[in-house]
Structure 1
Amino acid sequence: MKVDLRSDTVTKPTQAMLDAMFMAQVGDDVFGEDEEVNKLEAMAAKKLGMEAALFCPSGTMTNQIGLKVLSQPYQEVICYEAAHIYKYEGGGLAGTSGLSTKLLKGDRGRVSLKEVQEAVNPDDIHAPVTSIVALENTVNKGGGSCYSLQQIKPISDFCLRHKISRHLDGARLFNALVETGDASEDYGQYFDTISICLSKGLGAPVGSLLVGTKDLIHQARRVRKYMGGGMRQAGYLAAAGIYALQNNIDRLKDDHARARKLEEVLKNRAYVKQVLPVDTNIVIFELVDGVDTMQVLAQLAEHQIYAVRFGNNEIRLVTHLDFTDQMLEYTEEVLQKLKF
C-alpha cells in the first residue's frame, strides 16, 4: 500500500471532478471569454465577501501578484519569519516587488497585534515604508495552526488606521474555517487581497485565486499577464475549482480528524521528542537527539509511506482526501513498529 503524506498537493481529481472538467464550456480566458473561469472567479469573490477574483496557475503567483499591487519598490512587508511568501516563493518579494521584510516570531506563526505594532517603521528616511502586513492561515511551518477572525480583526483594524495594506496567504484558508466556524463571507472586510489555493485539500489538480476589490484585481490581471500567467482555455481547470468549492470544503474535517490520530500515535513513540499541536491537517514532529531525519524517512519509504524533512530534526505529514481510514490504520501500525 502506497501512502503519500508529503503534502495535500498530491491529491488527484475524483471521477466526479473529472466529469465536471470534461463538460466545461471553455473559451479564451485572456479575452475574458471562458465561462467556467468567469464563474469560478465570481464564486470565489462572493464566497469571501469581496468584489472580484483572478484565476492563476499557483498560490505563489497569487501571493506575489497580491503583494505587488499593494506596494511600491523599497517598501517593507511584515510577516511571520517562516511565512510561505518569505521562505518558499523563490525570493519573489525582493525580485518581483522590490520589498524588504520585517520578520516576526509569532505563536506557531500566528503573529499578535503587539508584534505588528512594534514592527511598523517610524516615518524616517533611513527606514523603508511599512506598506503591508501579510498573514498566513493556516500556517504551514506552524504545523497547520490557524487564526480565528477574532484574532485577525484587531490586526486588520490597526492596519486600516495606519494606512497599511493587508494581505492573506489563505492557501489552506478553508481548513481554518472548518475548525473556527467563522463565515468565509466575513473575511473580505479584513483584507485588501486574499490568496486561496484549490489544489491542496480541496483536491483540484491546478489553480489558485487572488481575491480583492475590482480595482486591485484589474491591476492584478496586468501583473499576471507579464508574469506569464495568462492561460487560454483554462475552463477545464476552473471547472475542477468550481467542483472543489462546491463539494470538498466540509470534508476537510475528515483530514483533520485523521491528522489528530497520527498525532496521538506519534506522541507515544520513543524516537519522537515532541509533536506540534495539530489544529488542522498538518502534523510536524521533532525527533529525539541522535535519531537521523533521513533515516526515519528512509524506513518509512521502505513501507511505502512518504513524508518530507521539515527542518534539521523535523518531519511533516499532511493528510488529504486521498488518505483513507485504511491508509491511516496502516500508517499507525508502521509508526508503532519503527525503532531507532
Structure 2
Amino acid sequence: MHTIFVTGGTGCIGSVTIYKLLQYQEVGKIVIATRSNNVEPLKLWLVDYIDPRLEFVTLDVSDYKAIEEVVLKVNPTHIIHLGAYQSPDCARDHIGGMEINTGGTMALFDVAEKLPLLKKFVFASSAAVYGMRSMYSQDTINEDVQLAPPNHYGIWKLAGEHLGRLFHKKTKVPTVCLRLNTTYGKGRDKGMTSAPTNALKAVAMGAISDELIHFEMPYQGRENYHFVEDVGAQFAACTLQPYEGFGAFNIKGETIEIRKFLGIVDEQARDLGLGDYSKSTVMVDAPPNLFVCDLEHEKISRAFKNLPQTTIEQGVRKSLEEFLDMAKKGILDYSKASS
C-alpha cells in the first residue's frame, strides 16, 4: 500500500488530486501538509465525508527544518509537491515567493534523498516556464522549445524542474514535472488565470440573485484550458502509474480564443436555462494573456495511459451546474487573483 505525502493538498489542484487518488485501492494513506489545516476545499469534492486514509499535518513549506522533520517521520512512498505561491503573490512578495517556491522545493528534494521507500516524486510545474506566445513561430509548442519565463513565478517553477533533474540524477528516483496552464472549474479559488472560472461563477451568482452580472475578462488573446477534474486525474495517474527517469510534461488541454471560451459559456448557460444571466466580455484595452498557449501533449500521452481530456463544452457545463448548486447553498465566492 502506498503512503503519499502531498504539499498544498487543500488548494485547488491539491484537493481534486486527493479526490482522484482516493479512487485507487492501492493508496493506503495520504498525508496532507498544509499551513491552515482547512478541510473546506476538500469538502467540495468529498462533501461531508473525510476519508479515514487522510491525515493532516501543519507545515509551512518555507520552514525548511520542519519539512525535514515531518517528511522523515511520514517516510512516504510517493511525494506530490503542489505547495507554492501563485503568480500575483510572487509579484507582490519576491523574497517570500522565492523562499516558498524555490527554497521549499529545494528543502523537500533534499529530505527526499534520505527516504528509503520513495518510489516517485511529482512536482507541479507550470506553463509559465515557457516564453510568451509571440516568442514561438511554430503552430504548436512541445516541451523541448527554448524556455524564457515571463515572470518570477515562472522562473522559480523552472528552477524547481532543474532541482528535480538533479535529484533524479543523484537518486535515480523517478521524477515527474507537470506543466499546467489555465485550470477552470470547481475549487479554483485564486491565481492570475482564475478569471475564466469567475466568468462561470458570475452566471451562477446572477441566477440565484436574479440579476445579470456583467463580467469582464482582464486579459485577451488565446488561452490553454484544463478542466479541473482532468488536472487532478492526471496528477494522480502520473503519481501511481509506472515511469522511469526524469521528465517534464505538458498536461493535456485545449487552446482556443478567450472570446470563444466566453461564447461557450453563453451557449451552455442557455442550454441550462441560464441564458438571461450570462454576459461576459473582454475588458477594453485588455493586455494580452501573459502565458503561452497551443501546448502539445503527445509526450504525456505516450508516457502515461488513459489520461482524460474533457471537452471545454462539457467542462463548462459541469462547472456551471456545480457553481449553481454551490450558489444555492450560499457557499460560492469569486476567485481572487492573490492570497
Q: TM-score range by the shorter chain?
A: 0.3 to 0.5
| TM-score, reference length from structure 2 | 0.34
TM-score (ref. length: structure 1): 0.34
